[in-house]
Every structure is written in structure tokens, then in C-alpha cells.
Structure 1
Amino acid sequence: MGTGDSTMGPGNILILMALLHSGTAFLKSEAYFNETAELPCQFLNSQNLSLNELVIFWQDQKKLVLYEFYLGKENLNNVDPKYMQRTSFDQNSWTLRLHRAQIKDKGVYQCIIHHKSPTGLVPHHQKDTELSLFANFTEPEIVQMSNVTENSGINLTCSSGQGYPKAMKMYFLLKLENSTELEYEGVMQTSQDNGTELYNVSISSYVPLPDGVSNVTIFCVLKAKSMKSREIEICSKPFCRVPRQPSPIAHQPSWIIAVILIFLILCGMACCLWKRKKKQRIVVSNKETTRMEKDTNEETEERMKIYVPERHDREVQCAV
């Protein structure tokens, strides 16, 4: 602000104190992280004052100036570096827009308007606005830490992040085949990023699986606050459908039974073929033995036929 017009007498101080007292009712403004926040001034300008005769500025709770409009012109000399090139003034609605809002920007802001009179600057209007920031958590993600055991359950971890304010609750939701729903809570671990001030959350829990249920669908649910104090629930994708226990063969899928039957049939056919071939080899061997014996007998008989006549001839000759 201009230093030459900034001196106020006791009367002006009393007026300013009255304005400060009357402005204790805060306006509420909400914005999402990294988006644009609005800081209204709610100045009606019933006297139809010109911007050329007004000094308008916004300051935060640490009295750091965000923006100053001095007698018809922007004045950047008093603007704190953290707000430089992050603001824009809407003259029609008397609203200051704070761009790329960060979590650390939350707090109370004051819009102050002074009117230039022949005696100097006179406090004319003040309005306080409380700014709240929000950031939606990422979709929860489930990770399995161990395998399912036959009669117990499963160890799961669920995590989500980049949210603000703190999450209210995080739990595992089991949906059974008969539409029954079961909740299992774990100890929620919370950490905050030093730079963005956003929160990361996670839970780890042993989730028992109900008896007598063949399949269970598991979700992770995060409950948090959103704008206008609304409670929202962010649900993970279905983690899996967990088989409860291995089923006997009679309850296995039909294609498994078919494969087993085909395997048994092929084994039976292979066994029959092996036995048949073995029998054929024995028959062939017996036939070969019989044939060889027959040939030997025939050869012996032939030799005998030849020998006997020769002996007969000799006998005849001798007889002669």
C-alpha cells in the first residue's frame, strides 16, 4: 500500500476495530488440492465507489499480502513471494482467486477495503474467509501377503494415498455367495508427506474365511471426508474369488473328470494292446518251434527212406 496515505488517526482506528469485530463471522470456502480457490470479499458497493478511490487487498492469517489493488492499479510491491503470480482479481464479483491451491494454503484470509478521502485512507469494509482444502485418496489396492490355508484365512494389506484430510476408516469387506457382507478392520497406519502434506494410509489384517462357503469376494473400503462435510467411501477393485477348500473329484468341473476318464481309457487300451502283442509273440514262437520239429522229422524220414533201399539191394545181391 502507498506509505503516504497509510496514516490513520484515532477515529479511523476505532472504525477499523469495529469492522474487525463485525467481521468475526467467517465465510466458508473449499477447494481441491492443486485447483483454484475463491476468496470472496462480499462487497456490495452501495455507494457506487470507483476502483480509483479504493485500496483493496487480501492477507492471510500471518498478515502476508496475497494481492493488492491500489487506486485502480495492481500493486505487486507488497505481495509476498509465495503468492506471486498465483492470484487473479474478479472485479465483477469482488473475489480473489488463488490458483494451484496447496494444503498449506488452508486457513483464514481477510479482504480489506479502504476508501480514499480528503483526510486519508478510511477503513470501509472487511470480510474474513476460512479456506479448507481437500484431496481425494487414490483407489485402494489390495496385496496378498500369504497363501490361503485350508481351514483358516488369508493375510492382506491394503493401501491408498494422496488424500486430505486424514482418512476416517479403512477396512476389508467380504461379500459371500448368499449376499452376506462381513467387515474386518485392521490397525490403520497413517503417514504425511512433508512437502505436499497429503496423507498415505494402509492396513494389514488377517482375514478369516467363513466355513461352508465355496467363494468369497474381497474388497478394501476407505472412508474419508469430502467437500461440504460429506463422507465418501472409495472401494477397491474386487481382489479375488477365494476357493474355500479343495473339493472332491465328484465336485470338480466336468472337463477335469473328462480328462481323467480319457486318461484311464487310454491306459486300459495300451494295456490290452501290450497283452495282445505278447500273446501273439508266444503263438508265433510256438508255431515256429512246431514247424522246425516237423521239418526235422521229415528230413529224418527222408534219409531213412534212402538208406533202407540201399540195404535191401545189398541183401538181394548177397542172396544172389
Structure 2
Amino acid sequence: ALEKKVIKSKVGEKVGLPCCYEIPSSESLHNYRVYWQKNTTEVVLAYAEGKMISKHERYENRTDMDSRNLTLWISPVEIPDNGPYQCVVQHLPSSQNPVVLCDERITFFVTADFSKPNITAEVSTNSCESTEMVVTCSSHGGFPKPKISGALNNKSVVWNASWVSESSLSPYNVTGKLLLNVTKDVSITCSIEYNDFAKSTSLLLRKTNHCVVPTVPPSYNVITASSIIIIIFLLAITLLARYLPRHGKCSSFFKKQ
């Protein structure tokens, strides 16, 4: 039975893809034919009778093969290296046809880190009761196609997400949007998940308060009470005005004596 293996690595790292056969110490690579293929059609490199007979130009100066355990070394890893690989080993007896010793398939997952998510909020409408805002979360430059998730005060929310990539083997940019109706200060979290990795960012969304309190016209009772007070005040002034001159004449009369 074919043994299936999964190898993971990040862009820029060095990785070894193991083969299914190790040449005994009593023999050499001259007695074997080795093929490393990608997607079963693209020959990464091939050896026959101890010599390299083929090498794909995309792997030039980035690949090497161990002459004993036939491990394919790739450095530095690039996003297009992602995919299924196959190692085929044939023995070359002197008097017989080549014998297939092993044929193993390996799945190679390449990861490129995404940028830390950036969250922005734009207020669309505002009132005393609530603030409606469009929240955007974006991250770029990663691989493979990520999942975007979110939480509002620790309760899950679903982003309206979109992805941009030149091809299936190119870096991805991801953007998520949310339309929120905020009645109080809340915390929004955005997470980008890819190949067992994740990056998150949180932002406090503040409820803006731009309330204009309407001026309430005074009631009828208030107007009536105010009018009475003003009338009493005016009467008091009138009485004082009449009393004070007389009081002044009496004072001058007593001074003359």
C-alpha cells in the first residue's frame, strides 16, 4: 500500500520531502533511477545511473537530492511549490529490465504569513439611540486562501468577505465588512486563519453621543406664576417710589430746626 505523507513549511524556509527508499550502503546511486515529480506531470528532477538527467527550470538553484535516502531538499520554499509530489525509485539490474522499488506520493502544504488584520470603522448614520457604522477588516500577502472570522463582545459574527489573488498559487488579500448598529461601546475582533495559523486584532467601537436636547416651551402655569410675580414686583416698586420722596421731605424739615 502507498504511504501518504503530509509535509508543511513556510515561504523562505528549507524543507526536505522524504522518499520511500534508502539506497543500501553496499550500493550507489549508479544502480538506480530516481524521479521526483510534482502533480504527476512536472518533473522536478531526475537521476539515472548516478547522473542528473532532468531538472525543472523553476527549481533551478533551489533543489538538491540526498544521494543516500533520496530526500528532495527545497530552499527557499516558494508559494508555487505547494502541491502533491511523487517519488519513484527504480533499480537497474545489469541483465534485467528496471524494477520499480517504490512509488510514494507526498502532499506539501506551503504557508505564507498574512499581515496583522487592520480594522477600521466608518459611521454612516448617527442618533441619540444608536450609531450605525461600517466596519472593515483587511489582511494581505498570505497563503493559502484564509478563513476570516469575528466576534462582537465575544459573540461570533459573520463577515461579508471577499478574496483577491492573481492565481490559486499566488498570495491572497482578504477583506471583510460588517454593518453594525451600536447602542453602546463594544469590542470587535477579527481573526485570519490559514494552515493551522491565525492572526487577530481587536478594536473598541465607541457609541458616539451627538444628542441635541429640544427646548421645551414653558407650561401655562409657569407663565401665569411668572406674570403674577412680575406684577407684584412692579407694584412694590411703585409704592416705594411714592413713599421715598415724602420720607425725604420729612428728613429735611427736621434738619432745618
Same fold per TM (> 0.5)? yes
Q: Does 1:235 align with 2:200?
A: yes
Query: Which residue is equivalent to 1:127?
Result: 104
Q: What is the distance in 2 between the residues matched to 1:89 and 1:219?
A: 45
Question: Secondary structure in 2 aligned to 1:88?
Answer: strand
Query: Which residue is equivalent to 2:167?
Result: 194
Question: Secondary structure in 1 aligned to 2:170?
Answer: coil
What amino acid is the match of 2:194?
K
Query: Which residue is equivalent to 1:57?
Result: 35
Q: Does 1:219 align with 2:192?
A: no
Q: What is the distance in 1 between the residues matched to 2:205 and 2:83?
A: 46
Q: What is the distance in 2 between the residues matched to 1:119 and 1:220?
A: 65
Please tell me whether the aligned partners of residues 134 and 180 of structure 2 are also in contact (alpha carbons under 8 angstroms). yes
Structure 2 counterparts to residues 142-291 of structure 1, below 5 A: 142-146=119-123, 149-150=126-127, 151-153=129-131, 154-171=133-150, 173-175=151-153, 181-194=154-167, 197-210=170-183, 213=184, 215-222=185-192, 224-226=193-195, 230=196, 232-236=197-201, 238-240=202-204, 242-243=206-207, 245=209
Unaligned stretches of 5+ residues in structure 1 = 1-21, 176-180, 248-320
Aligned-residue sequence identity (percent) comes to 21
Question: Secondary structure in 2 aligned to 1:52?
Answer: helix
- Comparing 195-204 and 44-53, the one that deviates more: 44-53
Choose between structure 1 and 2: higher strand proportion.
2
Please tell me whether the aligned partners of residues 209 and 244 of structure 1 are also in contact (alpha carbons under 8 angstroms). no
Q: What is the distance in 1 between the residues matched to 2:99 and 2:156?
A: 62
TM-score (norm 2): 0.68
Please tell me whether the aligned partners of residues 31 and 49 of structure 2 are also in contact (alpha carbons under 8 angstroms). yes
Identify if the C-alpha distance between structure 1 residues 71 and 225 changes in structure 2 by more than 3 Å, giving closer, same or farther.
same
Q: What is the distance in 2 between the residues matched to 1:51 and 1:41?
A: 14
What amino acid is the match of 1:235?
S
Identify if the C-alpha distance between structure 1 residues 110 and 221 changes in structure 2 by more than 3 Å, giving closer, same or farther.
closer
Which has the larger Rg?
1
Q: What is the distance in 2 between the residues matched to 1:182 and 1:160?
A: 22
Q: Does 1:102 align with 2:78?
A: yes
What amino acid is the match of 2:62?
R
Aligned pair count reads 209
Choose between structure 1 and 2: higher helix proportion.
1
Please tell me whether the aligned partners of residues 184 and 207 of structure 1 are also in contact (alpha carbons under 8 angstroms). no
Q: What is the distance in 2 between the residues matched to 1:146 and 1:167?
A: 28
CA RMSD of aligned residues (A): 3.0
Query: Which residue is equivalent to 2:15?
Result: 37
Please tell me whether the aligned partners of residues 109 and 129 of structure 1 are also in contact (alpha carbons under 8 angstroms). yes
Question: Secondary structure in 2 aligned to 1:245?
Answer: coil
Identify if the C-alpha distance between structure 1 residues 89 and 149 changes in structure 2 by more than 3 Å, giving closer, same or farther.
same
Q: Which of the residues 88, 98, 118 maps onto 1:141?
A: 118
What amino acid is the match of 1:80?
H
Please tell me whether the aligned partners of residues 66 and 84 of structure 1 are also in contact (alpha carbons under 8 angstroms). no
Q: What is the distance in 2 between the residues matched to 1:192 and 1:106?
A: 15
**Shift of residue 63 of structure 1?**
2.7
What amino acid is the match of 1:186?
W
Query: Which residue is equivalent to 1:118?
Result: 94
Please tell me whether the aligned partners of residues 190 and 200 of structure 2 are also in contact (alpha carbons under 8 angstroms). yes
What amino acid is the match of 1:64?
E
**Shift of residue 196 of structure 1?**
5.1
**Shift of residue 239 of structure 1?**
2.8
- Offset from partner CA, 1:174-213 (integer Å, 9 cap, x none): 34xxxxx344333111121338522211112222224xx4
